[in-house]
Structure 1
Amino acid sequence: MIRRTLAESKFFNPHSSEYELFPSTSVAASMDLSVVVPSYNEQERLPVMMDEALEYLEGRKEQFPDFTYEVIVVDDGSGDQTSTVALSYAKEYTTDRVRVLTLEQNRGKGGAVRMGVLSSRGRRVLMADADGATRFCDVARLEDRLKALPDVSGIAIGSRAHLEKEAIAKRNFLRNFISKVFQLLVWMLCVRTIRDTQCGFKLFSRSCAVTLFSTLHVERWAFDVELLYLAEQLGIQLVEVAVNWTEIDGSKLVPVFSWIQMGKDILLIRLRYMLGIWRIDDAKKMQ
């Protein structure tokens, strides 16, 4: 069951100074692309990402007038001015193109993405981090791979695997060791077909997004692993696409502690599905 308060079902329209309801995922898609941006205390980094994304999306709309999009910024219970910053873009671009979903309390990145996806209108849904670490124009590469799938339904997953050697050279021994252990746990217990499960740049067909996020349990950092585990179990088509990525200062991940917590979550994901506490059948019914 998705927990959503009445306030979390609405977005503020700065032009009318009124609150309006987000649509339900049961309503047919009315946009080409929805971009969901989970944001927690991102008042400093969010503008850089939004400027790049909107420049690309507006340029694409100018080139192809029939192209429609929306950006949903999900403020995950921030203690700063993240919502205010996001609303300034809604005022400039209108709420048809930029909407702000403000969560009353922090849910975690997975919970924030889920709430944004289930409030979206797009035929395709892109998850994009607020730090702008991935070049936004790479969405076109993900779209091309998604369109090439037999029934145009599946997930195109941005990947930094091709940058692994460079990253290893820059990190200290402890971080490299923990990262390798984490990758081994993911491969052994949950996801076999994707090398980089944690890149925050993933493109979903609408049907896949609704199926997976409606049945997702994990709301913190390891949510990507459960998401892709479910996708593999359901036979959803997955393609990994190399993207341009730059490490940005200000990460919310706490070194070592966050990796340990994620490792614990991965063990619990597999254990709970094995014991039937969480059921694949629930996702199959949704599918």
Structure 2
Amino acid sequence: METIQRIIKPKVLICLFILGLIFIYATSETYAKVVRFKDENYFLNPKTNEKEKFPSIEDKPTLLLSVIIPAYNEEKRLPIMLEECLEYLENKLKSNPESTYELIIVDDGSTDRTTEVGLSYSQKFGCDKVRVLTLTKNRGKGGAVRMGMLSSRGEQLLFADADGATTFEDISKLQDNLKELVKGESLDIALGLVCGSRAHLEEEAIASRSVFRTFLMKGFHLLVWFFAARSIRDTQCGFKLLTRATARLCFPNLHIERWAFDVELIYIAEHIGIPTGEISVRWMEIEGSKIVPVLSWLQMGRDLILIWLRYSTKAWRIRIDSKEDKKYN
């Protein structure tokens, strides 16, 4: 009897492993797909009350900087962030006419007045500077950032959280590091990704968060290092700058649309050789976080294990250039 049990157990484990692989392949698309509802192709010009079409990430850039702001039920916190962001960008534009910019506020299926708040700034500054992309349904932070990136016009693209936790003027530090990464190449064709960080990489970095959140973050960072990304210590800081070519390559390839999308973004960058940098930024914890303690971290942990497993088993693959049908396997 014991001999039979010793034979059966390995067979059961092998069968479970095979069934697991079949499940992974059967429940995932090999190449990521961008699903966009018709209304998500347009933004409202509040001055004419007419809808205008968003450009594509495949188009040539017409601005220096695009700032993507994912927002879900952020009618209260969003104005504070926008005031700081716009004050900085307007001052830059006055001192240097080449510092052109746009803000794309992506309302991720909010049930409050997030879209109306965004449109009030579009009315004030003009829709050439502030545009609102209202998603038909909630996709998650990663899905919102992705849709904003694919609708942008900038040579440089930054995504920043709507809570204003990161001091916006620290973008200049990221821009300086991005210039070092691209080594003089045009930002339309050069590859580079710079991540803002709360990991005390520089003495002037200022970070403040609760003990419980710090404990969860450190545990998550350990899992990230083990399963997915090793070049960036703080993968979850919502302040990342990349070139247009990097966005054009990475965001159509993202499968994860919720909190762990940052990890997949960095995973893709590492595996296809995109230069990455990490720069400390000033950051403070803001009340009203959409992260649900424990549950959100469990979801992120599950997703990063799936990132490692699905890419390792080739259930997920990266499309390098769809026009020439080149792929990373």
Letter in 1 for 2:230: R
Is the contact made by 2:206 and 2:282 (CA closer than 8 Å) also made in structure 1?
A: no
SS in 1 for 2:51: strand
State how far apart, in whole Å, the 1-side matches of 2:83 and 2:218 are.
35
Counterpart among 93, 118, 139 of residue 150 in structure 2: 118
Per the alignment, residue 252 of structure 1 pairs with 290
Answer yes or no: is the 8 Å Cα contact 1:71–1:98 preserved in 2.
yes
Q: For residue 15 of structure 1, what is the aligned residue in structure 2?
A: 47
What is the CA-CA distance between 1:65 and the residue it aligns to? 1.7
How far apart are the structure 1 equivalents of 2:249 and 2:294?
32
Pair 1:39-2:79 in alignment: no
1:80-229 counterparts in 2 under 5 A? 80-149=112-181, 150=183, 151=185, 153-162=191-200, 170-172=210-212, 175-229=213-267
How far 1:67 sits from its partner (Å)? 1.9
Alignment match of 1:27 (pick from 55, 59, 72): 59
Q: How many residues align?
A: 283
Matched-pair contact (CA < 8 Å) for 1:47–1:85: yes
Paired amino acid for 1:8 = E
Q: Could you give the per-residue CA deviations for residues 74-117 of structure 1, whole angstroms, max 9, x where no partner exists?
A: 00000000000000000000000000000010000000000000
Distance verdict in 2 for CA 1:117–1:92, change over 3 Å: same
Q: Deviations over 1:244-278 (max 9, x none)?
A: 00100000000111111100111111111111111
> TM-score, with normalisation over the residues of structure 1?
0.95
Structure 2 gap ranges (5+): 1-32
Question: 1:40 Cα deviation (Å)?
Answer: 0.2
Aligned partners of 1:261 and 1:114: how far apart in 2? 19
Distance 1:138 1:123 in 2: 18
- Structure 2 residue matching 1:161: 3-state secondary structure: coil
Task: Give me the whole-angstrom Cα distance separating, in 2, the residues matched to 1:76 and 1:176.
Answer: 27
Q: Secondary structure at the match of 1:148?
A: helix
Task: Report the AA paired with residue 238 of structure 2.
Answer: G
Q: What residue number does 2:280 align with?
A: 242
Aligned-residue offset at 1:177 = 4.1
User: Where does residue 10 of structure 2 map in the other structure?
Assistant: none
Deviations 1:143-191 (A, max 9, x none): 01101122453011100001899757x414xx44433321111001100
Percent identity, please.
54
* Structure 1 runs, 4 residues or longer, greater than 3 Å off: 163-168, 175-178, 283-287
CA displacement, residues 218-253 of structure 1 (integer Å, 9 cap, x when unaligned): 000000000000000010000100000010000000
What is the rounded CA distance, in whole Å, between the counterparts of 1:47 and 1:2 in structure 2?
Answer: 30
1:142 Cα offset (Å): 0.4
SS in 1 for 2:302: helix
Structure 2 CA distance for partners of 1:165 and 1:181, relative to 1, 3 Å: farther
Please report the RMSD computed on the Cα atoms of aligned residues, expressed in angstroms: 1.7
Q: Distance in 1 between matches of 2:294 and 2:84?
A: 31
- Aligned position for 2:95: 63
Deviation of 1:193 (Å): 1.0
1:271 counterpart residue number: 309
Partners of 1:25 and 1:130 in 2: CA distance: 22
CA distance in 2, matches of 1:135, 1:187: 27
With normalisation by structure 2, the TM-score equals 0.83
